[in-house]
């Protein structure tokens, strides 16, 4: 469990186990209808700021089963079905370290990162840690000039 200094806002604190976290979010999955947007709100000769929004359009397997029983095998999108609320439990996905540094809270999506050692897993790029949030909002600072030489 995490026993370090106080955690910044948007970071998940200690949990009982990684299995509990995975079980809590196991019903929600991303879809092929994911929406990706980007903008360059700050542009200067020294630096650009790139904002990216990944809306994974998550669905609930339990809700899908309910809709299929009402509409047949090929159900309409959940958002177009009357009296069907969006899932209360948010999407759980892993983020690599360079995503963890850039992800920000978004409206309707906390983007909470679990830094608990039991939750993260080692990868070639560092520790991938779970992020709870259906919409990732990332900010990237691009420095000019771009060089293809290694530092």
Q: Domain segments of the chain: what residues? A: 11-143
Q: Model pTM?
A: 0.66
- C-alpha 2/C-alpha 19 separation (Å) is 16
Q: What percent of the chain has pLDDT over 70?
A: 68
- Whether the Cβ atoms of residue 91 and residue 128 lie closer than 8 Å to each other: no
| pLDDT, mean over the chain | 75
- C-alpha 90/C-alpha 103 separation (Å) is 16
Q: What is the pLDDT of residue 16?
A: 60
Q: What is the pLDDT of residue 70?
A: 67
Query: pLDDT grade, residue 95 (50/70/90)?
Result: very high
Task: List pLDDT tens digits, range 69-81.
Answer: 666 655 555 455 5
- What integer is the mean pLDDT of 50-58? 87
């Amino acid at each position: 469990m995490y026993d370090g200094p106080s955690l910044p806002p948007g970071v998940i604190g200690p949990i009982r186990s990684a299995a509990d976290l995975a079980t809590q979010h196991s019903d929600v999955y991303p879809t092929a209808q994911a929406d990706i947007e980007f903008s360059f709100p700050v542009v200067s000769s020294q630096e650009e700021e790139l904002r990216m929004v990944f809306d994974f359009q998550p669905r609930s397997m339990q809700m899908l089963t309910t809709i299929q029983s009402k509409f047949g095998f090929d159900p309409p999108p959940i958002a177009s079905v009357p009296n069907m609320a969006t899932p209360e439990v948010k999407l759980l996905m892993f983020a690599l370290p360079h995503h963890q540094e850039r992800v920000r809270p978004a409206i309707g999506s906390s983007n909470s990162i679990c830094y608990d050692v039991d939750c993260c897993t080692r990868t070639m790029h560092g520790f991938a840690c779970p992020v709870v949030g259906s919409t990732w909002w990332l900010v990237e600072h691009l420095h000019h000039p771009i060089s293809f030489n290694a530092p």
